[in-house]
Amino acid sequence: MQLRDLKAQYGRYREEIDEAIRSVLERAAFIGGKEVGELEEELADYAGVKHCISCANGTEAMSLMLMAWGIGKGDAVFVPDFTFFSTGEVVSFCGATPVFVDVDRDTFNIDLEKLDRAIVRVIEEFMLNPRVIIPVDLFGLPADYPGIKHLIRGYHMWVLEDGAQGFGGRIGEKKACSFGHAATTSFFPAKPLGCYGDGGAVFTDNDTWAEKVRSLKVHGKGEGKYDNVRIGVNSRLDTIQAAVLKVKLKAFKEHELEDVNRVAGWYREFLDGVVELPVVPEGFYSSWAQYTIKLKNRAERDGLQAYLKEQGIPSAVYYQKPMHQQGAYAHMNLKDEDFPVSTQLSETVLSLPMHPYLSRADVEKVCQAAKKYLRS
């Protein structure tokens, strides 16, 4: 059993994927081949936005958008405390100040009341300019974007959706990567839509921002390769990865998103009342990048993880350290008591195997093992 079974997916789509890769190899169009532009059009259409600009990875997608907005020294960017390091790292990379905000215990996403207090505090106490909020669609569930946009009325702030785990999620009929003023995603292999290496993308409806990101991702180019109008980076999605993603996007739309939600339903059926299960608020739809349960304490979590391993069942802890505990931010002297939910989650969460190719029998095996350990 795999935590996320990429081999099963490849086995089902081997012929299409091999043919897509072979086509690129035969044409030797490794950089900027037609598949890149085709994929961008398909992704923009799926998300429901005007522009999708592919790039080298999800981290650089966020960096490119912050660069396009001119975010830098003196600016405050608000980031959930319970997330992967890159969401805060990109803020520091561009010279701005990351402001970590505790999360909601049920959804794992940024807590709006605490976000409101953090914005006020930054203005009154730290004399920083609040510029951007980067909500994270953690574990596949979109953050509360309607609430966030209502909260920032009166502030001149932008919302940058970190949809690295959320591609395919929805609020009502609106899809992930369309909620912010701009959005990003990652095509890391284990993501809901992943390639066979690194890859990422920026999404926006703003023509000016899209043009600037396209320039920034290729050395700040202007009219041509040797016309450089700004300082940029080298951040391109290669053609082979785009070809793979075109096949996988078709599978994702046709059945994978529906199948992974069916798997989540089986987990709920078998584990309801046994452990604390992930919550999907009414009107929200998750793409289930992970299926993450909460245990009573660290000892119970670690014990269950060890027992599952003995049974040949993989699991993972996302995330063992919240942002405020990372050594890179030790100079900020942040305290656990200011982030009680994130601190507790880091000690109690456990992610179980989750992907569209799990069978009901697989899920039942995982749940029976968990029940047996917890009863003991």
E strand spans, 5-109 = 51-55, 75-80, 97-101
Assign 154 a pLDDT band (cuts: 50, 70, 90). Answer: confident
Assign 45 a pLDDT band (cuts: 50, 70, 90). Answer: very high
Amino acid 224: pLDDT: 86
Residue 169, pLDDT above cutoff 90: yes
- For 276, the 3-state DSSP assignment is strand
Task: Kindly report, residue by residue over 60-70, the tens digit of the pLDDT.
Answer: 999 999 999 99
Cα–Cα distance measured from residue 214 to residue 86, given in angstroms and rounded to the nearest whole number:
21
Provide the terminal-to-terminal Cα distance of the chain, rounded to the nearest Å. Answer: 24
| Tally of CA atoms within 13 A in the half-sphere of 257 that contains its CB | 21
Amino acid 164: pLDDT: 97
Task: Give the Å distances, CA to CA, from 313 to 108, 146, 308.
Answer: 24, 38, 5
Structure tokens at 48: 């429901």
Cα–Cα distance measured from residue 61 to residue 133, given in angstroms and rounded to the nearest whole number:
15
CB 43 within 8 A of CB 52: yes
In the chain, where the domains are located: 6-101+108-247, 254-375
Assign 337 a pLDDT band (cuts: 50, 70, 90). Answer: very high
Task: Kindly report, residue by residue over 206-261, the tens digit of the pLDDT.
Answer: 999 999 999 999 999 999 889 999 999 999 999 999 999 999 999 999 999 999 99
- How does DSSP classify residue 140? G
Nearest to 243 by CA among 4, 15, 21, 18: 21
Identify the bridge partners of residue 204 per DSSP, sorted by sequence position.
51, 182
CB 143 within 8 A of CB 110: yes
Task: Kindly report, residue by residue over 270-283, the tens digit of the pLDDT.
Answer: 999 999 999 999 99
Beta carbons within 10 angstroms of residue 366's beta carbon: 24
Amino acid 355: pLDDT: 98
CB 174 within 8 A of CB 182: no
Cα–Cα distance measured from residue 236 to residue 182, given in angstroms and rounded to the nearest whole number:
19
CATH topology for 6-101+108-247 is Aspartate Aminotransferase; domain 2 (3.40.640)
Helix locations, 187-238, DSSP H:
207-216
Task: Kindly report, residue by residue over 1-38, the tens digit of the pLDDT.
Answer: 999 999 999 999 999 999 999 999 999 999 999 999 99
Amino acid 127: pLDDT: 86
The phi, psi pair for 267, rounded to 5°, reads -60, -45
Task: Kindly report, residue by residue over 113-145, the tens digit of the pLDDT.
Answer: 999 999 999 999 988 999 999 999 999 999 999
Q: How long, in residues, is the chain?
A: 376
Torsion angle, CA of 26/34/211/46, rounded to 10 degrees? -130
Residue 149 burial class via C-beta count within 10 angstroms: exposed 0-12, middle 13-18, buried 19 and up: middle
Angle between helix 239-251 and 34-47 (nearest 10):
40
Question: Burial letters for 97-136: b for 16+ Cβ neighbours within 10 Å, e otherwise?
Answer: bbbbbbbbbebbbbbbebbeebbeebeeeeebbbbbbbbb
Amino acid 351: pLDDT: 98
Residue 348, pLDDT above cutoff 90: yes
Provide the residue type at 295 as one letter: L
At 171, which helix (H) or strand (E)? strand 170-171
Give residues with Cβ within 8 angstroms of 309, minimum separation 6.
Answer: 315
Provide the residue type at 43 as one letter: L
Structure tokens at 105: 């215990």
Percent of residues, the chain, with pLDDT higher than 70: 100
- For 282, the 3-state DSSP assignment is coil
Assign 201 a pLDDT band (cuts: 50, 70, 90). Answer: very high
Cα–Cα distance measured from residue 3 to residue 184, given in angstroms and rounded to the nearest whole number:
24
Mean residue pLDDT across the chain: 97
Answer yes or no: CATH 3.30.420.10 is held by domain 254-375.
no
Task: Give the Å distances, CA to CA, from 59 to 45, 114, 213, 279, 348.
Answer: 23, 25, 14, 27, 27
